[in-house]
Amino acid sequence: MARFNFKKSLLVAAIAVVLFVAVTGGAIADRIFGFKPLDLLFPRGFKVQQKVLTEESVVINVVKNVGPSVVTVSAQAPQRRVLQLNPFGGFSTSIQGGQPQDIGSGFILTSDGLIATNKHVVSDTTVSYKVVTSDGKTYDVKQINRDPSNDIAMLRIDAKGLKPVDLGDSDTLQVGQFVIAIGTALGQFRNTVTTGVVSGLGRGIQAGDEFQGYVEQLDNVIQTDAAINPGNSGGPLLNSAGEVIGINVAVAESAQNIGFAIPINIVKSAIDQFKTTGKFPSKAYIGVEYQMIPKQTALLNNVPQGAYVVNVVAGSPAEKAGLEIGDIIFKVDSKEITQDNGGLAKVISSKKPGDVITLDINRNGDNIKASVTLSEFAQ
């Protein structure tokens, strides 16, 4: 007959009571105070802190690796003497220009000095440009090639041993993805680092210069809340692996934390061709400034959707074909053009110099046709 062990039974009972109290008390504490017993060993802030430390290390590593590949673009206007009249009599002179001013950013594509930036950063042909690397060395820009349809430009400097960037794949981007921007913020603060996320994809923005006779629609651009300020233009937008997935191009006016970047896949082919041939792919050119008429506006004004011509460039294919200010181009080669399908810019970008296109035009309420022979856009 088994012998009853009072001490052993008492010990078992005590353990059972402790476990019951721990479990029950833990459940009550969790329900009332949100406290878990394991919090004593692994505080809840541990995971949050671990996440923050991971993000910090990602940014630090990307900046260390890519920072040396980001450059500042500066412009220097010719020095000139300006006459100033004194309202109290006499006059004086002052010297203007002659000093470099940081105006934008760029990034290194090859170790021997090929730099990518925005076309609008280096659009002024009356000034000279310089590139300042992250270590403070300054190089004269020897050659500029511009691709206005994509708002990119290639700068050539005489240098060796530079560190080129790695180009990523912008087609795999997702909304909410972490991104990093590096550039010369406000034209003053070189190699400024900002972080954010991809706020939107497939956005469309207007880019161009009315004084140079074109307005281009940049389609499918990246929207981000990473701070992009004037001076950041031309700098890289990077993923967490330190790959360039976009070229910072614009900041939305009258808005906060809304910036845009050209997806790198859009310009990869242009970059590759330039590396091989020293030229950008030929672009077709029609020579009109225009605004797309949205559907609601067209209905209210009893006009077709299309491209409303606000200016015709002198000597352009459009002028030679007889286009006029106020024309509404609503079809190209019998295909309707609307704001939703990319408009006139998308159609022209699919053509080649020398192609002959047929336009359906609404002029003062009458529909007419015009034949236009596209030319090559001069870089």
- Of the candidates 161, 168, 135, 172, the residue with the CA atom closest to the CA atom of residue 242: 168
| Listed residue (246, 249, 245) closest to 258, CA to CA | 249
Intra-chain end-to-end CA distance of the chain, in Å: 106
DSSP 44: T
Q: What is the mean pLDDT of residues 171-180?
A: 90
Hey, how many other C-beta atoms are within 10 angstroms of the C-beta on 205?
A: 16
Residue 205: which pLDDT band, with cuts at 50, 70 and 90? Answer: low
Name the percent of the chain in helix, strand, coil, to the closest 5: 25, 40, 35
Q: What is the arithmetic mean of pLDDT over 273-297? A: 82
Q: Which of 333, 317, 305, 323 is nearest to 363 (CA)?
A: 323
**135 assigned to active site:** no
Q: Please, which pLDDT band fits residue 37 given cuts at 50, 70 and 90?
A: low
Name every residue whose Cβ is closer than 8 Å to that of residue 146 and which is 6 or more positions away in sequence. 119, 122, 123, 152, 153, 280, 379
3-class SS of residue 336: strand
Q: What pLDDT band is residue 90 in, cutting at 50, 70 and 90?
A: low
Closest CA to 372 of 353, 359, 360, 363: 359
- Neighbouring residues of 154: CB distance < 8 A, sequence distance ≥ 6: 109, 114, 115, 116, 143, 144, 145, 147, 271, 274, 280
Q: Is 170 a catalytic residue?
A: no
User: Is pLDDT of 143 > 70?
Assistant: yes
Query: What average pLDDT does the segment 128-155 reach?
Result: 88
| pLDDT score at 82 | 59
- Give the integer Cα–Cα distance in Å for 359 and 323: 10
What pairs with residue 308 in β-bridges?
A: 291, 328
Q: Which of the residue ranges 19-33, 72-86, 197-211, 335-349 has the most confident prediction, judged by mean pLDDT?
A: 335-349
Q: How far apart are CA 146 and CA 267, in angstroms?
A: 12
Q: What is the pLDDT of residue 32?
A: 46
Q: What is the pLDDT of residue 201?
A: 84
pLDDT at res. 332: 94
pLDDT of residue 129: 93
The CA distance from 25 to 288, in Å, is: 77
State the average pLDDT for the chain. Answer: 79
Q: Let me know if 282 is a catalytic residue.
A: no
Q: What percent of the chain has pLDDT over 90?
A: 34
pLDDT tops 80 at residue 193: yes
The three-class DSSP label of residue 205 is strand
Question: What's the predicted TM-score (pTM) here?
Answer: 0.61
State mean pLDDT over 209-215. 39
- 141 in Cβ contact with 131 (< 8 Å): yes
Please, are residues 115 and 123 in contact by the beta-carbon 8 Å criterion?
no
**What would the two tokens of residue 64 be?**
């260390």
| Each residue's pLDDT tens digit, 250-273 | 766 555 667 889 889 878 877 887
Dihedrals phi, psi of 22, to nearest 5 degrees: -65, -45
CA 210 to chain centre: 21
Least confident of 106-110, 130-134, 200-204, 325-329: 200-204
Residue 360 to residues 102, 131, 331, 354, Cα–Cα distance (Å): 46, 46, 5, 19
Enumerate domains of the chain plus CATH numbers.
168-276 (2.40.10.10), 284-376 (2.30.42.10)
Report residue 12 as tokens: 């078992």
Whether 171 has a pLDDT exceeding 90, the answer reads no
Q: Quick one: tokens of 359?
A: 């336009």
pLDDT score of 3 more than 90: no
Catalytic member of 151, 170, 327, 375: 151
Q: Which of 97-106, 145-154, 170-179, 202-211 has the highest mean pLDDT?
A: 170-179
Stretch 349-360: mean pLDDT: 89
Q: How far apart are CA 274 and CA 12, in angstroms?
A: 81
Q: Which member of 102, 120, 149, 199 is catalytic?
A: 120
Q: Give dist(CA 370, CA 361) in Å, integer.
A: 7
Contact (CB, 8 A) for 203 and 260: yes
Residue 147 reports pLDDT greater than 60? yes
Averaged over 297-309, what is the pLDDT?
Answer: 91
Instruction: Please report which confidence band the pLDDT of residue 13 belongs to, taking 50, 70 and 90 as the band edges.
Output: low
Mind listing the pLDDT tens digit for each residue in 222-241?
889 888 888 888 999 999 99
Q: Tell me what pLDDT residue 304 has.
A: 93
Q: Per-residue confidence at 364, pLDDT binned at 50, 70, 90? A: very high
Q: Whole-angstrom Cα distance, residue 115 to residue 103?
A: 15
Catalytic residue among 233, 316, 327, 375: 233
Percent of the chain with pLDDT over 70: 73
